[in-house]
Amino acid sequence: MKGPALLFCPGDRPDRYARAAAASDAVVLDLEDAVAPDAKDAARAAVMRGLADLDPAAVVVRVNATGTPWHAADVAALAAFPDVTLMLPMAQRPEDVEALGPHPVVALCETARGVLEAPRIAAASTSVGLMWGSEDLLADLGGRSGRAPDGTYRPALAEARTRILYAARAAGVAPIDTVLVALDDLDLLAADSADAAAAGYAAKACIHPVQIAVVRAAFRPGDDEISQAEDVLAAAAGQPGVFRFRGRMVDAPVLARAREILRLTHEADATTALRLSKT
């Protein structure tokens, strides 16, 4: 997965697959929450047909959770596409993540147990990403509201968001921020995305195409950040070690962050250029 905007697409809407894939950095074909129980088999068959026309590097399939009546059939069908990344909802044990091999797996932690087990889940041999799910987590906690009056997350969800980030980065897998279900609140989406990017998240999941541009803009480093990164790296040339630059101490971590800013900028610009070339 390259780029910060993942877009969920209902598995039983094959007419939307191509558009969702073209609009996003990775499309998540959803066999779980977006599909009614009586449509699961038809959705699975549609996803199997659709995968033949999609780039495996830019598609994720969210299977039904371990222990549900549809999980085994999902996994068995997707064995024909071993390179496709799977998303496992309600992830609570590393064994369940590893059981999906040889597929790469994004584990979705959306229960109290899943959040507490996040370090072990992220360290599973098949893990490539770790995501948290705010809505299901709030329900699992018995909470009534995940947001404070100012729009920020209440402490219980804020802690989960932080734990997922730490677990993912410690294991060397991609941390993915939760969706925002308030489709019309693009200001809150921008704030959420900016917070996620600033903290170290690699991507954010979207549930509507209108959210994609907001997420991409928030994750791309700003012009001032880019300029400062370029300047500090230029100033570091020929410097033997720690040095002073514009009133600040510059050492190895500062230089590493500057390089990361330029890497993210290059990746974002390359993705944009590729997307425009296909339109």
Show me where the domains of the chain are located.
Answer: 5-219, 223-277
Q: Helices marked H in the chain — which ranges?
A: 17-23, 40-51, 71-78, 94-98, 112-116, 118-122, 134-141, 155-171, 186-199, 212-219, 223-236, 252-277
Give the count of alpha carbons within 13 A of 191, CB side only. 9
Residue 224: pLDDT over 60: yes
User: What is the reported pLDDT for 2?
Assistant: 74
Name the 3-class secondary structure at 129.
Answer: strand
Residue 258: φ, ψ to 5°: -60, -40
User: What is the reported pLDDT for 51?
Assistant: 97
Over residues 117-155, the pLDDT tens digits come to: 999 999 999 999 999 999 999 999 999 999 999 999 999
CA-based nearest residue to 202, from 174, 168, 170, 221: 174
Q: Mean pLDDT over residues 30-38, rounded?
A: 98
* Sign, CA torsion 96/99/174/5: negative
Helical pair 155-171 and 134-141, crossing angle rounded to 10 deg:
120
pTM above 0.85, yes or no: yes
Q: Residue 39, Cβ neighbours under 10 Å: how many?
A: 15
Residues 6+ apart with CB under 8 A from 63: 31, 32, 70, 71, 74, 75, 78, 86, 87, 88, 89, 100
Feature table: binding site: 62, 110, 136
Name the 3-class secondary structure at 154.
Answer: coil
Feature table: binding site for substrate: 62, 110
Q: Using CA atoms, how far apart are residues 264 and 191, in angstroms rounded to an integer? A: 19
Q: Mean pLDDT over residues 38-56, rounded?
A: 97
Which residue is associated with the tokens 């610009």? 269
Strand partners, 247: none
User: What is the reported pLDDT for 84?
Assistant: 98
Over residues 48-96, the pLDDT tens digits come to: 999 999 999 999 999 999 999 999 999 999 999 999 999 999 999 999 9
Residue 273: pLDDT over 80: no
Amino acid sitting at position 228: Q
CA-based nearest residue to 77, from 100, 98, 95: 100
Contact present, 199 and 227 (Cβ < 8 Å): no
Provide, rounded to the nearest whole percent, the portion of the chain with pLDDT above 70.
95
Feature table: binding site for Mg(2+): 110, 136
Q: Using CA atoms, how far apart are residues 185 and 200, in angstroms rounded to an integer? A: 23
CA-based nearest residue to 59, from 22, 90, 100: 22
Whether the ω angle into residue 102 lies within 30 degrees of 0, i.e. cis, is: yes
At 18, list the tokens: 């191509």
User: What is the reported pLDDT for 99?
Assistant: 98
Q: Using CA atoms, how far apart are residues 211 and 71, in angstroms rounded to an integer? A: 29
Which of 57-71, 73-87, 235-249, 261-275 shows the lowest per-residue confidence on average (mean pLDDT)?
A: 261-275
More confident residue, 271 or 193: 193
Q: What is the CATH T-level fold of the domain 5-219, as seen in this structure?
A: TIM Barrel (3.20.20)
